[in-house]
Copies of this chain bind each other. A is one copy, B any other.
Amino acid sequence: MLRLYDDPISGNGYKVRLLLAHLGRRYDYRRVDIVTGETRTPDFLRRNPNGRIPVLEFEDGRCLAESNAILWYLAEDSDFAPGDRWTRAQTLQWMFFEQYSHEPYIAVLRFWAHLGDQLPPAQAAQVPERQAKGYQALDVMERHLDATPFLVGENFGVADIALYAYTHVAHEGGFDLSGYPAVRAWLSRVMEQPGHIAMNELPKASAVSAAE
């Protein structure tokens, strides 16, 4: 059985859980606490030398890191994968946009808000610039989603999953989506997909246990 190493606070992990739910796949779920440094133990670093969750572990011990690479792997040959060369390229365009121009601002400010008073001053000084860049990313999404129901054409797919994960909790990082009607309509369309699970719905069918 597939095993997912994840912290429930992580949108990157939620991407994988959301796709696995859509695919109806059972898996073993292992909690790793990113705040207390459980991704930096020798045991975890054997699975991902870069020290980040999520990590997907196969029965034979192979491990795959990077949430969007995991989405790509799991989605292949399913309805959630793009079907031709051009839509594959557009899907990856949005997934790289997510990791470079969206996650470092929208996800990071949410994580920093979660840290509260524990946020170091050097990080606190970066908040205004990260807010501005987060809104730039939302502007790009708004303009695009004003013209198309999903990020890549008519079909819900892995690009939508990749960008939904942190956009739908952007308010937890202080972002106000009231000026983004097309983004909000798209969030609703994603939520209405059959098989959707919320971020706090951890897998029921398989064991939830602390990482050894």
Contacts and interface: CB of A to CB of B under 8 A. Distances in A.
Interface in A48-98: 49-50, 52, 62, 64-70, 72-73, 76, 85-86, 88-90, 92-93, 95-97
A107 to B, nearest CB: 11
A73 to B, nearest CB: 4
Given A49-B143, A72-B89, A73-B88, A66 B122 contact: no
A119 interface: no
A85 B96 contact: no
B65 A93 contact: yes
A122 to B, nearest CB: 7
A91 B96 CA distance: 14
A144 interface: yes
A125 interface: yes
Interface centre among A65, A103, A137 (most CB of B within 10 A): A65
B96 A66 contact: yes
Contacts of A126: 122, 126
B85 A76 contact: yes
A187 to B, nearest CB: 19
Interface residues of A, number: 39
Contacts of A76: 85, 88
Given A73-B85, A73-B88, A99-B99, A93 B64 contact: yes
A101 interface: yes
B70 A89 contact: yes
A140 interface: yes
Given A64-B90, A66-B93, 6 more contacts: A52-B101, A62-B86, A67-B96, A68-B96, A100-B103, A122-B126
A-B CB proximity, top 8 nearest: A73-B89, A69-B92, A66-B96, A69-B93, A66-B93, A99-B100, A49-B140, A50-B140
Interface of A: 49-50, 52, 62, 64-70, 72-73, 76, 85-86, 88-90, 92-93, 95-97, 99-101, 103-104, 122, 125-126, 129, 136-137, 139-140, 143-144
